[in-house]
A and B are shown apart, each in its own frame.
Chain A
């Protein structure tokens, strides 16, 4: 899995390519935590356009970061979900607690 990070104002944009499972979850956790530790980002946007697979291990990493941001008073959102990833988001209830947008541009306007 490839992880691309970019700061846009105070939103950390995380673009993922590949498959997010237990094997790749740690790298994502570490990458986002490292950025949040800098105390600059107040929100995180996950751009999942290139993510072709995700299971409950990926869900765990996303929920963990969601909790940290919520405690900080920050926000988390996701955009560009493919079918399989959307299904996991829906079944787990993530779509009810997190903003889901069709494009990165629309998501950034809301954060």
Chain B
């Protein structure tokens, strides 16, 4: 019989006090994948924090909407995290992912969010539709597995 791998869905309003809750909840779930190092757990938390902050600041810049995090344990000791929103969407995803690019420099945004997600996770893909929302998918493999995955 095929083993069912664990998964979870977390939904919350785009309020900034949920940034910490979201990254800590995902880190707690991640522990089921295996023995991450503290550095790897920090990387997961930073990546989640960046994706959730983007949803709060950019996707729902005019109000509050729902942010969803789907996390799943993958075959081969991997963790998949999808952060989605139903917000304004990103017009030019490639441009948004360029290091230092930001539409909100006046608010002291650094444009480093996607760079951190890319640096800290093994896979990153972003899909977005104007006025429908954005989905950020990230995957991280346990270090012992990463050699065979890359």
A-B pairs under 8 A by CB, number: 63
A59 and B112: CB pair below 8 A? yes
Nearest CB to that of A61 among chain B residues?
B108
Nearest CB to that of A52 among chain B residues?
B42
Interface size on B, residues (CB 8 A): 24
For residue B131, CB closer than 8 A to chain A, the reply is: no
A22 and B19: CB pair below 8 A? yes
Residues of A within 8 A of B49 (CB): 21, 53, 55
B38 and A63: CB pair below 8 A? no
A1-38, CB under 8 A of B: which get 1 and which 0?
A: 00000000000000000010111010001000000000
User: Shortest distance in angstroms between A61's beta carbon and chain B's nearest beta carbon?
Assistant: 6
In the bound complex, CA of A91 to CA of B119 (Å): 9
Chain B interfacial positions (CB closer than 8 Å to A)? 16-17, 19-20, 23, 38-39, 42, 45-46, 49-50, 53, 56-57, 107-110, 112-113, 115-116, 119
